[in-house]
C-alpha cells in the first residue's frame, strides 16, 4: 500500500523548531526573565542538568516532527522540567523585584502550550501516524454517504466514524486540505457535516482507497446527535465483544467435553 499522505499541524511543526533551538535560546531567555547574572547563566549553560535537558528537548522535537508515539510523553516530561526550573531559578536566584510576574507568565505559557499540544495531537485520530492518540474512539460501520466538494458530487461510503471525524471510502481523487460536505444517515439521524480532508490513502490490502475527514464547525445540535450516535455504536460494539467472548467460551467448553468423552471411550 502506498504510504498515506498526511500533514502535521503548523503548531506542532513550529513547536518542534522551537525545541530544536532550545540549547541556544533557553538560557538567555531564562536570564532575561529573572534578571540573572552572566556568571550564573554560564554555570547553568554548562551544567550536566542543562545538557541532559537539551538532549531531551532535541529528542522531543524529533518525536513531534516525525509524529512518534512517544512524543506526548517526552514533551510532558520536558514541560515538567521547565516548570520545576522556573520555580528553582526564579525563587532562588531571580533578582527582579516583581519575581511573581515573570514566574506566573512563564508557568502559564508552559501549561497553555502543553494543553494546545494535547488538543493538536488528539484531534486528528484518523491519521495513521498517530492513530493511538485519538481523543474520541472510532467505530467501524458501512454507511452510504454523499460528499460534495467544490461543486463536485461524489458517492462514497463511511467506513468508520467518531464524534470528531470519519474515514470515507471513495475512488474519486481528492486532495489534502480540501473542504467537503458529507451527508449521511445513521440510527434515524440525518447528518450534514462540513469537514476538511486531513489525509488520503491509496487502495491496498489493509485499507481501501479513501480520505480521512475531520469535522469542522458542527452546530451544537448536530454535534449532540453525533455523540449520541457514537454512544449507540459503543454500546453495540461492547455487546458484540461480549457475545464473541461467550461464543469462544462455549466453543472451548465443547472442545473440552469432547476430549473428556474421547478419553472415557
Q: Where are the domains of the chain?
A: 8-122, 138-265
Res 229: pLDDT? 85
Rounded average pLDDT over 144-166: 84
What integer is the mean pLDDT of 130-137?
45
Cα angle 14-15-20, degrees, rounded to a multiple of 5: 100
Cβ pair 166, 182 in contact under 8 A = yes
Lowest mean pLDDT among 65-79, 80-94, 182-196, 235-249: 235-249
Closest CA to 144 of 122, 166, 115, 116: 166
Distance CA(40)–CA(34), nearest Å, equals 11
Q: Look at residue 9 in the predicted model and tell me its pLDDT.
A: 66
Arch. (CATH architecture) of 138-265: Beta Barrel (2.40)
What single DSSP character describes residue 150?
Answer: T
Task: Check whether 263 has a pLDDT greater than 80.
Answer: no
Grid cell digits, residue 197? 480532508
Least confident of 11-15, 97-101, 117-121, 233-237: 117-121
Q: What is the pLDDT of residue 241?
A: 73
Taking Cα atoms as reference points, which of 107, 188, 183 lies closest to residue 145? 183
| Bigger pLDDT: 139 vs 91 | 91
Q: Is the pTM of this model over 0.75?
A: no
Q: What pLDDT does 207 receive?
A: 59
**Mean pLDDT computed over 248-262:** 77
Mean pLDDT of the chain: 80
Tally the residues of the chain: 265
Mean pLDDT across the stretch 16-30? 92
Q: Which helix (DSSP H) or strand (DSSP E) does residue 94 occupy?
A: none
167 vs 150: which has the higher pLDDT: 167
Contact between residue 212 and residue 198 where contact means Cβ atoms under 8 Å apart: yes
Of the pLDDT bands very low, low, confident and very high (cuts 50, 70, 90), residue 77 is very high
Q: Give the model's pLDDT for residue 171.
A: 80
Mean pLDDT over 152-166 rounds to 83
pLDDT at position 205: 45
Rounded Cα distance, 143 and 58, in Å? 44
Choice between 108 and 153, residue whose per-residue pLDDT is larger: 108
Amino acid at each position: 500500500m502506498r504510504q498515506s499522505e498526511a500533514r502535521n499541524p503548523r503548531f506542532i511543526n513550529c513547536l518542534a523548531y522551537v525545541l530544536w533551538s532550545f540549547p541556544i535560546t533557553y538560557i538567555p531567555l531564562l536570564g532575561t526573565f529573572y534578571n540573572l547574572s552572566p556568571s550564573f547563566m554560564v554555570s547553568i549553560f554548562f551544567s550536566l542538568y542543562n545538557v541532559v535537558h537539551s538532549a531531551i528537548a532535541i529528542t522531543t522535537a524529533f518525536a513531534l516532527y516525525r509524529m512518534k508515539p512517544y512524543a506526548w510523553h517526552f514533551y510532558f516530561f520536558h514541560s515538567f522540567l521547565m516548570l520545576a526550573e522556573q520555580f528553582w531559578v526564579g525563587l532562588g536566584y531571580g533578582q527582579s523585584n516583581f519575581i511573581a510576574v515573570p514566574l506566573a507568565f512563564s508557568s502559564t505559557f508552559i501549561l497553555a502550550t502543553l494543553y494546545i499540544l494535547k488538543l493538536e495531537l488528539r484531534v486528528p485520530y484518523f491519521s495513521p501516524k498517530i492513530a493511538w492518540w485519538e481523543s474520541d474512539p472510532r467505530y467501524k460501520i458501512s454507511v452510504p454517504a454523499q460528499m460534495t466538494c467544490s461543486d463536485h458530487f461524489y458517492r462514497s461510503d463511511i467506513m468508520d466514524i467518531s464524534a470528531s471525524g470519519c474515514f470515507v471510502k471513495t475512488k474519486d481523487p481528492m486532495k489534502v486540505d480540501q473542504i467537503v460536505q458529507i451527508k449521511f444517515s445513521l440510527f434515524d439521524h440525518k447528518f450534514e457535516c462540513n469537514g476538511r480532508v486531513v489525509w488520503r490513502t491509496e487502495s491496498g490490502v489493509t485499507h481501501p482507497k479513501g480520505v480521512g475527514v475531520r469535522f469542522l464547525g458542527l452546530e451544537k445540535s448536530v454535534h449532540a446527535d453525533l455523540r449520541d450516535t457514537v454512544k449507540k455504536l459503543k454500546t453495540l460494539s461492547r455487546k458484540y465483544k461480549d457475545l464473541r467472548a461467550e461464543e469462544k467460551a462455549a466453543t472451548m467448553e465443547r472442545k473440552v467435553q469432547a476430549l473428556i468423552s474421547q478419553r472415557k471411550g
